[in-house]
Amino acid sequence: MGSKSDLPVMQDAIDILVEFGIEIEVDIVSAHRTPEKLFDYGKYAHTRGIQVIIAGAGGAAHLPGMVASLSPLPIIGVPVKSSNSIDGWDSVLSILQMPGGVPVATVALNGAKNAGILAAQILGSSDADILDKIITYKAGLKAKVIDSANELKK
C-alpha cells in the first residue's frame, strides 16, 4: 500500500488471504515518497517468490500502475478513498485507466476484500488446495443467501 493510512482499507485483503491460509507479505511502498523502493519492489518481487501483487493507493494513485510497469506478475489495484480524495474518483481513475499492454485488475473503491479473493483465485488456478478453499468459500456465500431467503419465509 502507498501509505499507512491505507491500512484500514487494505486490512480486508490481509484478513481474507490469512483466512485462506495463503502466505503474504505486507509492505508500504509510496510511488511518490519512496520511488527507489517502488522500483526495487516492482522489479524484483517475482525473483523473491511472490506470485501476485495487490497494490492499494489513494489520491493520485500511481502505485499499482507503476508496479505493473515494472513487474511481470499479475497486479490487482485497490483504489483507496483517502481523506483528501475527490469522492474516490481520483483513486479509481488513476488505477483503472491503464494503457494497453500494462494491465491492472482494478477492484471497486475500497474493494480490498475482493482483491484478496481475486489473488487467491489466481493462485488457485494452479493450486488445488487453494482452489478447494475458494470453492468452499463460494458455497458459504451461497448458503448465506439461501438461509436469508428461508428466514424471510418464516
Q: Are 57 and 7 in contact (CB under 8 A)?
A: no
Compute the distance between CA of residue 104 and CA of residue 123 in angstroms, rounded to an integer.
16
**Strands laid side by side in the 53-58 sheet:** 53-58, 75-80, 105-106
Interface with ligand RP5, residue 111, by CB under 6 A: no
Which string of x and - marks every residue 78-97 that binds ligand RP5 (by CB under 6 A)?
Answer: --x-x---------------
What DSSP state is assigned to residue 45?
Answer: G
As measured in angstroms, the least distance from the Cβ of 53 to ligand RP5 is 15
3-class secondary-structure state, position 14: helix
- Amino acid in the structure at residue 69: S
CA distance 91 to 97: 11
Confirm or reject binding of residue 58 to ligand RP5 (CB under 6 A): yes
What is the closest distance, in whole angstroms, from the C-beta atom of residue 33 to ligand RP5 in the complex? 7
The piece of 19-27, 36-44, 54-62, 140-148 that touches ligand RP5 (CB under 6 A) is: 54-62
Residue 12 found at the interface with ligand RP5 (CB under 6 A): no
Q: Is 6 annotated as a binding residue?
A: yes
2 vs 5, 14, 21, 26, CA distance in Å? 8, 15, 24, 11
Q: Least distance (Å) from ligand RP5 to the CB of residue 42?
A: 15
Residue placing its CB nearer to ligand RP5 in the complex, 57 or 109? 57
Residues that bind ligand RP5 (CB under 6 A): 2-3, 5-6, 30, 57-59, 80, 82
Question: Which residues are known binding-site members for substrate?
Answer: 3, 6, 33
